[in-house]
Homo-oligomer: A and B are copies of this chain.
Amino acid sequence: MTIKPLADRVVIKMVEAEETTKSGIILTGSAKEKPEVAEVIAVGPGGMVDGKEVKMLVKVGDKVLTSKYAGTEVKVDGTQYTIVRQSDILAIVE
């Protein structure tokens, strides 16, 4: 079973804390907005979103930084994902 995001939405999967430590990325928490590193699982087609042309900039497999409270959490076939808008993705880490 697959999730096909609409418009400018992106399905991401949080990278586990252990993995995070191994890769050397440690995210600081703040009261208002907690950033998270995640892997891109599926990318919407972009196109006209709210009357504006959106070009997708991330691709499947990218590691991205986003905000913890951005998006909506879903669990499909036992795995938890988050669906965010591309504009909620801050940066790609390499």
Decide yes or no: A1 and B93 within 8 Å by CB, A6-B57, A48-B53, A83-B65 being known contacts.
yes
Which positions in A face B, CB cutoff 8 Å? Answer: 1-7, 9, 11, 23-28, 30, 32-33, 35, 42, 44, 48, 50-55, 57-58, 65, 67, 69, 72-78, 80, 83, 86-87, 89-94
A24 nearest in chain B by CB position: B77
Q: Would you call the interface of chain A mostly helix, strand, loop, or mixed? A: strand
Distance to closest chain B CB from A4 (angstroms): 5
Give chain B residues whose Cβ lies under 8 Å from the Cβ of A90.
5-6, 9, 72, 74, 83
Tell me which of A50, A65, A86 has the highest count of chain B C-beta atoms within 10 A of its own C-beta.
Answer: A65
